[in-house]
Structure 1
Amino acid sequence: MFWRAKPTVAIEDFEWQMEAWGWLLENLGGQAGLKLFPTRYPRRSDFPAIASSGHELAQAVFETVCSYMKVIPSDYDLQPQAPSIDPKLGPLALVKNAPRDPAGVYQRRNGRHLITYAPTSKPNLERLIAVFAHEICHSILFSFPTFPPGGSEMEEFATDLAVVFFGFGVFGGNPSFQFNQTRDDGQGTQGWSIDRIGYLTQNEWGLALAIRAALTEDDMAPLADHGSIGLLTHFKNNMKYLRKNRKEISHLLKQH
């Protein structure tokens, strides 16, 4: 029937996520390993206020993310990227084809983990936490003996999924779709833009959070206060589907 509960992604994307979750469970300690990492939210109880700014602030946030993900901060070198080009020169002037810096980059250099991030004059801590969690996941997933389902071309998508595994799915899902309206009376400009970070779409983040909740039986009530409207909607719709199709999660648990 047309009102039957269904996931918010195409069937092939749902199947890939289920297979990728199996891959993560196989390499990260199964359901017991997953339960070691509770879901974190953009709230003071998870991220207390930090009385610093600039790179010192980024370093403090990074160390908090490391502690939650159970990795050693001293194994990583954290560096800010060079300032990016501002493409807006005036009311009617833009830099054509201005390069857009990545929000974060992971590299393995001289036997150490190197993570660089894009600094801003007004840091968005939620976005910064999502970037750090994603880049740290790279260092973890690269230690696995096999590629994720779909091969090396699916590594970035699997890395986003690992962000959910380690409890940072709300941070990754919230900025995966952002509608921004801008107005600058001094420059005489106004407009709108759509921005996002990460590789999964917001409905895919919602599915990933729902699968995680079904595997851990976590109380996801705080998502109502700390998740975006879109993320919360996709999460609820996918939870409804998983509750009506419990065999999906049962099958995943039996295998791992």
Structure 2
Amino acid sequence: MFWNKKKKLPITEEDKIWVDEDLNWLKTEFGHDHFMEIRTITPTKDFYERTFDGTEKDAEFILERTMELMNIQNVDINLEFFSDSPIEMADGTILTTPADLDGSWESASGTYEQTENGTIISIEIRQLKNPISLIATISHELAHQILLGEKRIEENDEYLTDLTAIVYGFGIFIGNSQFNFSSFSTNGGFGWQSSSQGYLPQQIIAYSMAWLSKNRNEKTDYSQYLNKSMKKYFDQSFEWLIENER
């Protein structure tokens, strides 16, 4: 009967397999005790005690605080800013960005680079207007530091990078962010760019969060923080995990 219909996952079995494998790899890599003690980060003053005003000081505060939350220690990370917006000159002409000219990407949100002068995270200046997106971007770039900077992997893996930020509790920010993110390569670094298709869709982000919530026996009330589609996918995933994985 319809009321006995089994719950369905919002992701494919193929995606479930690799997500489970990557999450379990991160659990082993970080150590069971540390992995299990990580808390979900919520968009509240419990985690980011600041009134944001859209300045570069906001990004500096978020970088420092997010490094604490992601257990990144004993490393100096330089924060820089750039703009991909067209520039209006004094004579009224508009200077467009390389992105506008070749159409290869829409807008970079942030980049991570390891250079001879140290580690640099660069933030597109418009990110300062949206703390949720800014936190999502910075947590992603710091996940590169955890994986590449700490030499846990040798080659960049964007799927694993996204999952690392989610493992460290930033799924709400990444899932709710107004952008879908994909990546691009720079000389010596990697970054996010906004586009219509991201490396991790909301369904996989939500499933990963549900997997973590169940395995960590979390008590976070996600309904307070997730947008409508994220909440739907999270609830579907969590209910399926409860029903099928003992």
- Range class of TM-score, shorter chain: 0.7 to 0.9
- The yes-or-no answer on 1:47 pairing with 2:48 is yes
Task: Give me the whole-angstrom Cα distance separating, in 2, the residues matched to 1:29 and 1:97.
Answer: 45
Closer, same or farther in 2 for the Cα pair 1:166/1:121, shift >3 Å?
A: closer
Matches within 5 A, 1:1-256: 3-30=5-32, 32-50=33-51, 53-72=54-73, 75-85=76-86, 100-110=106-116, 112-120=118-126, 123-142=129-148, 143-146=150-153, 152=155, 155-175=157-177, 199-221=199-221, 223-247=222-246
Task: Give me the whole-angstrom Cα distance separating, in 2, the residues matched to 1:166 and 1:141.
Answer: 13
- Shift in Å at residue 130 of structure 1? 0.4
Task: Give me the whole-angstrom Cα distance separating, in 2, the residues matched to 1:145 and 1:121.
Answer: 29
What stretches of structure 1 of length at least 5 have no aligned partner? 90-94, 179-193, 248-256
Task: Give me the whole-angstrom Cα distance separating, in 2, the residues matched to 1:134 and 1:122.
Answer: 16
- Shift in Å at residue 120 of structure 1? 1.5
What stretches of structure 2 of length at least 5 have no aligned partner? 88-93, 95-99, 181-193
Provide Cα deviations, 1:165-197, integer angstroms capped at 9, x if missing partner. 11111111112668xxxxxxxxxxxxxxx9668
Task: Give me the whole-angstrom Cα distance separating, in 2, the residues matched to 1:15 and 1:126.
Answer: 29
The alignment covers a number of residue pairs equal to 219
CA contact (8 A) 1:177 1:202 kept: no
Task: Give me the whole-angstrom Cα distance separating, in 2, the residues matched to 1:168 and 1:234.
Answer: 16
Q: Cα RMSD between the aligned structures?
A: 2.8
Closer, same or farther in 2 for the Cα pair 1:205/1:129, shift >3 Å?
A: same
- Which residue identity lines up with residue 215 of structure 2 in the other structure? L
How does the TM-score come out when normalised to structure 1?
Answer: 0.76
Closer, same or farther in 2 for the Cα pair 1:137/1:241, shift >3 Å?
A: same
- Shift in Å at residue 7 of structure 1? 1.6
Task: Give me the whole-angstrom Cα distance separating, in 1, the residues matched to 2:134 and 2:162.
Answer: 14
